Amino acid sequence: MKIKAIKAFEILDSRGTPTIAALIETDDDFKEIGFVPSGASTGSREAIEKRDGGNNFNGKGVAQVIKNAEENLFPELIGMKIGSQVEFDSKLIELDGTKNKKNFGANIILSLSLAHCKLSASAEKKPLYEYIHDYFRENFFSEVKMKMPLPMMNILNGGAHANNQLDFQEFMIQPVGFSSFKEGLICGVEVFNFLKKTLNKKGFSTAVGDEGGFAPGIDSAEEALDLISSSIQEAGYEVDKDVTFALDCAATELLKNKKYVFSNKEKLSSDELIEYLSNLADKYPITSVEDGLDENDWVGWESLTKKLGKKTQLVGDDLFVTNKDILQEGIDRNIANSVLVKINQIGTISETFETICLAYQHNYKCVISHRSGETEDNFIADLAVGTGAGQIKTGAPSRSDRTSKYNRLLMIDAMEGLEFLGRQELIN
């Protein structure tokens, strides 16, 4: 099976911002399409998301990005065999010729990598999660097992994902006390719905942010966590036993002149922010903290890991940007204990596999993640199951760009009846 034709399209993500979809057609008339997400809070070392500039879509259009690829990239791919993800992605990387994919753009490259992965599954007549599992096991990490991921559900939004005074970007719940994915998801949905009732009673807005969570006009992490705690209890569940908390601090967004500046004008040093996070973790059952410090504050990260790393999952997002070389540096310095995996941060599926494999080899957890600007594509659901990642972060059970991933996972769960480990996913 060889590539016969490639077509790319300028489409819209969940924020109404242009992104790219690419369709690859084979000589056997197989067709698959890959949709690319985009982020608002981005790490400085992410692969380059290329845009047109100018006036169209306020400079965020991708029509010229597509045109450049049509003229200079696609012709080089026609006639390639479908099947080896590594070979295909290596060709994309070679043709781009830059470390961060700035020539053609990681967005167009990823759309092609995604479409190829889906085509490979179709060619082998396998469900996508099964194909990913087999390929990952044979080429990267032989010990991997398929399983259902523990959801990390963003139900309260702040930071760059909402128009309020809440400094931390995401307040999430994890349904740890259940024996199946479906039971855990039901719990998350019920807590989310009770949170809406709680907010309404208190006179807060129940408008949702970019990732489907509510974005009320509250001012502090403590207030957010108290609201979630009461909603868990009202829904008939127990805090800690059934549901734990996860935070995405997105601390890089807070750093100004070497201080972490909060909306109340409070300015914290790295050590002070670490102490604040430690106190929060003592007061509430916070089992995961993402980007607790700035992406370049590696000395601070060393201290944070020493302070909280044995009892709390510390997730590097902006810190590692799904890049195996940066992750290796973090491993060497004993920084964090988990990596957030976003396919568009690195730009190809093969490189994503490399990062996941490296994490597994060093006992780091992997959390497969969406972006704030999502599409209806549910690839990451299959990715989480196929690579046995154990956790998925894909927003609130709200907005079709988020629920499409949960619905795909529900379907996989119903078809396969895979293991769901719950709280055990958070234990190294």
Q: What are the angstrom distances between the C-alpha of 88 and each of 117, 128, 275, 353? A: 9, 17, 46, 14
Give just the sign of the alpha carbon dihedral 129, 130, 131, 137: positive
**Residue 142 contacts by C-beta under 8 Å, 6 or more apart in sequence?**
none
Q: What is the largest CA-CA distance in the chain?
A: 62
- Of 101, 118, 307, 342, which is the active-site residue? 342
Catalytic entry in 49, 170, 190, 211: 211
Q: Is 334 helix (H, G, I), strand (E, B) or coil?
A: coil
d(CA 63, CA 69): 10
Burial of 31 (0-12, 13-18, 19+ CB in 10 A): middle
Residue 40: DSSP 8-state: S
Angle at CA of residue 51, ends 55 and 369, nearest 5°: 130
The amino acid at 346: I
d(CA 151, CA 148): 9
Contacts of 399 (CB under 8 A, 6+ apart): 14, 208, 211, 212
- Is 295 part of the annotated catalytic residue set? no
CA distance 22 to 258: 41
Expressed in angstroms, the distance from the first to the final Cα of the chain is 42
* Residue 272 annotated in active site: no
Distance CA 296, CA 169 (A): 18
Q: Which residues are catalytic?
A: 211, 342
